[in-house]
Homo-oligomer: A and B are copies of this chain.
Amino acid sequence: MAPDDTKDRIVEAAITTLKERGYAGSSARAIAATGSFNQALIFYHFGSVRDALLAALDRTSAERMAAYRTAAASATDIQGLVGVATEIYHEDLASGHITILAELIAGASTDRTLGPEIVARIAPWIDFAREEIDRVAQGSPLAQLVPADDLAYAIVAQFLGLELLTHLDGTAERAERLFQLAGSFSTLLSMSGLMDGGPPR
């Protein structure tokens, strides 16, 4: 965690500033103040504030992805997967990862060139969700009905929407209940037989 060189310090400061002050609040001066270094260093090392913020997203994305894969590996059925999703939601809130993602998405409405960069960094999450869905649902009747990649897209969208509303609400209470509901629902789904027939891997 302790950043050894300046580039690291800038990335860490960018992450902190994005979480605490949002996209528009993450100016070169604000980031420099957070990390107690000179404002001009951002331009020397990254060329622009924009690229420093994308580097921040890169870092948290890589860290979270590693954590997700580890957590998901233990899930063998839909109920386990919902449990992992709940865990991921909590970890994301705590780590601030989705906050950073949401802030950059917000920023994309100003700087349109950010859009493709963000899409490229979201794609792995959709892939990840799709792989996990395939893993527990492949061969089941439900898999015939719902293409895994569409479902994966919907789930990522749901995470984003929930995070935004949670942010505005100032409370995660309603999202909490939704994950509990998803747990109950996955149990129902298991019992229904709609998830049967998948090869356990």
Contact = CB atoms under 8 A, between A and B. Distances in A.
A24 interface: yes
A90 interface: no
A24 B156 CA distance: 25
28 contacts: A22-B110, A23-B109, A23-B110, A24-B24, A24-B109, A25-B110, A102-B109, A105-B106, A105-B164, A108-B168, A109-B167, A115-B167, A115-B168, A119-B168, A147-B181, A150-B174, A150-B177, A153-B165, A153-B178, A154-B158, A157-B165, A158-B158, A158-B161, A159-B161, A160-B161, A160-B164, A161-B161, A164-B164
Interface residues of A, number: 43
A119 to B, nearest CB: 5
Interface of A: 21-25, 102-103, 105-110, 115, 118-119, 122, 145-147, 150, 153-154, 156-162, 164-165, 167-170, 174, 177-178, 181, 184-185, 188
